[in-house]
């Protein structure tokens, strides 16, 4: 890539091996950022070694990891860099990414980081409004249940805070659970039993509708969330749509890029 200027934006994602969702989510976010900041050159990096290796072997598709992207950016003569992650929270992936980027700090005039999706109180409100806009058809006798990833990192508390904020903002039938942490699926079951819905809509609270969405959430195995909801007697409909497909979520990432540009 030959840069149009010495300024660039590096968009860092975990990645996905699902081509359809990649185009609809990660590439949509990148395209929106590129259109919003045409004076910046755009670069991409993914952090999942497993996904990068899988794509290289299966599709002969080579995507840079963070170190490789930084070396390319340096080689292209970029002096001022904005790094925007598409991570949902300030978790382990984000911490590691920042360390890798900052190891190049002395080779640039400036490196600034945009925040992950859910960082401030304002972010939480914007994300909730983006969700409500996306599921404007949700009826009072239905429940919308999101599957987040979850982590043992202390940033996992964001999921419980957001679940509470849905209710606090007047959406008692929207719930957020996680695959690997708290709130758990059992927490959601306990809440639903207090006022059982006629229908449950399942959706991933992840940027892409990838492996977790297709298997852990909507898979045919007996331990998928859809199977477990059906076992509890709920009429369950999966929506395989990542957060990156929601216009309001993409706008939130762009606002984070702008915040990074505005940093002194």
- Distance in angstroms (rounded) separating the CA atoms of residues 252 and 264: 21
- What DSSP designation does 105 have? G
Residues taking part in catalysis? 149
- CA distances to 52, 216, 224, 227, 231 from 221, rounded to whole Å, are 26, 8, 6, 7, 12
Place of tokens 């990660």: 26
The crossing angle, in degrees rounded to 10, of helices 66-75 and 92-102 is: 30
Phi/psi at 78 (nearest 5 deg)? -70, 135
Q: Is the N-terminal amide bond of 183 cis, ω within 30° of 0?
A: yes
> Structure tokens of 74?
């340096």
Region of 176 on the Ramachandran plot (φ > 0 left; ψ -120 to 50 alpha; else beta): beta
SS3 for 176?
A: strand
Do the strands 142-148 and 199-204 form a parallel or antiparallel pair, or are they unpaired? parallel
- Distance in angstroms (rounded) separating the CA atoms of residues 237 and 234: 9
- Distance in angstroms (rounded) separating the CA atoms of residues 156 and 166: 16
């Amino acid at each position: 890539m030959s840069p149009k200027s010495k300024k660039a934006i590096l968009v860092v994602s975990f990645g996905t091996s699902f081509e359809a969702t990649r185009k609809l989510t990660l590439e949509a976010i990148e395209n929106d950022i590129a259109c919003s900041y045409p004076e910046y050159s755009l670069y991409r990096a993914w952090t999942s070694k497993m996904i990068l290796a899988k794509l290289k072997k299966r599709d002969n598709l080579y995507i840079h990891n963070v170190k490789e992207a930084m070396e390319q950016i340096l080689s292209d003569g970029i002096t001022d860099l904005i790094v925007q992650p598409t991570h949902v929270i300030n978790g382990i992936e984000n911490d590691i990414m920042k360390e890798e980027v900052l190891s190049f700090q002395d080779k640039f005039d400036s490196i600034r980081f945009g925040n992950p999706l859910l960082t401030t109180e304002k972010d939480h409100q914007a994300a909730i409004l983006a969700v409500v806009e996306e599921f404007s058809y949700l009826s009072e006798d239905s429940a919308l249940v999101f599957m987040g990833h979850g982590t043992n990192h202390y940033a996992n508390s964001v999921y419980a805070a957001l679940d509470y904020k849905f209710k606090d903002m007047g959406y008692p039938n929207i719930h957020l659970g996680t695959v690997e942490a708290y709130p758990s699926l059992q927490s959601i079951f306990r809440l639903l039993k207090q006022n059982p819905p006629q229908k449950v809509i399942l959706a991933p609270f992840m940027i892409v509708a990838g492996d977790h969405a297709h298997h852990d959430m909507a898979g045919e195995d007996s331990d998928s969330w859809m199977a477990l909801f059906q076992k509890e007697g709920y009429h369950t409909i999966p929506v395989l749509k990542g957060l990156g497909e929601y216009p309001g979520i993409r706008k939130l990432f762009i606002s984070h890029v702008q915040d990074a540009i505005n940093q002194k």
